[in-house]
Amino acid sequence: MCPPNYPRITSTNTYTAQTPIGSGPYVLITITMDSAGSMITYLDAYRRMSHGFGTWERIDRIIAENIPYDRVEDLSTFYRIDASYVSWLGLQYTDYRDWSKEIHTESDPMYRVVNPSNMQGYFDADADRYIEIEFRQ
């Protein structure tokens, strides 16, 4: 099973997608799957975008491992980690930064959440928690 519309890197199960640098938003995604397509063994998703009529900048990033196949709905395939995976160790890195371009910088943002160890407590405390990846055809 191959994720649709993602170029495959030859002789591996790694797929990448990238928007042009300077586009809004800029997105870079790398996904590695096991040979059967039953698990995303590695995910690195990065997004940078302007908002607030271009006066604000935002970065979102997640690096995660071992996200199992969950289901197919219509033309979409889903991989999901949810409440049954208490203290899931696959969440390797999270980053969220949001800043006003007039007052702050990327290295000193107004809002920031980073460090998967700190995020794990929030993830475990929410009974409806999940990370879900959807591939659409």
| pLDDT by residue, tens only, the chain of 137 residues | 444 444 544 445 899 999 998 888 999 999 999 988 899 999 999 999 999 999 999 999 999 899 999 999 999 999 988 766 656 778 888 889 999 999 999 999 999 887 766 766 766 777 777 788 888 87
pLDDT of residue 29: 94
Query: Rounded to an integer, what distance in angstroms lies between the CA atom of residue 34 and that of residue 38?
Result: 7
Identify the pLDDT of residue 28: 95
In this prediction the pTM is: 0.78
Cα 21 to Cα 110: distance, rounded to the nearest angstrom: 24
If you count DSSP H runs as helices and E runs as strands, how many of each does the chain have, helices first? 1, 9
The Cα–Cα gap between 95 and 102 comes to 21
